Amino acid sequence: EVHLVESGGGLVQPGGSLRLSCAASGFTFSDNYMGWVRQAPGKGLEWVGRIRNKVERYTTEYAASVKGTFTISRDDSKNSLYLQMNSLKVEDTAVYFCAREFYFKYDFWGQGILVTVSS
């Protein structure tokens, strides 16, 4: 059974940094593309970015709203996905979901982790 578990969320001041982790199990993590999606309180889903697999040289793509401030990485030896968030703004407050990307769809999702940016 596929499991994705996010961690590392919490309260951070504007301008601060935070690193989210996502631990994966139940599938061959290294073969798959992985992504992050966020949801601001009471709002809809927003795609954040994704990272390809080793075959595709771990290349990344990001939403325009986070490009240059967020970085996605992975450690296949630990079956883990990461989201490094720098220069955080109040509008980055959201629940962040990690998800497995499989042929243009996100078929498995973590439970989400709350990031609150506030002074």
Partner 1 sequence: QSALTQPASVSGSPGQSITISCTGTSSDVGGYNYVSWYQQLPGKAPKLMIFDVRNRPSGVSDRFSGSKSGNTASLTISGLQAEDEADYYCSSYTTSDTLYVFGTGTKVTVL
Residues that bind partner 1 (CB under 8 A): 37, 44-47, 49-50, 61, 63-64, 97, 103-112
DSSP code for 44: -
Beta strands in 40-112 (DSSP E): 45-51, 60-62, 70-75, 80-85, 94-101, 106-109
Min CB(53)–partner 1 separation in Å = 16
Nearer to partner 1, 61 or 75 (CB): 61
Min CB(37)–partner 1 separation in Å = 8
Nearer to partner 1, 68 or 77 (CB): 68
Task: In whole angstroms, give the CA distance from residue 4 to residue 99.
Answer: 7
Min CB(105)–partner 1 separation in Å = 4
Which of 70, 76, 75 lies closest to 88, judged by CA?
A: 70
Nearer to partner 1, 82 or 97 (CB): 97
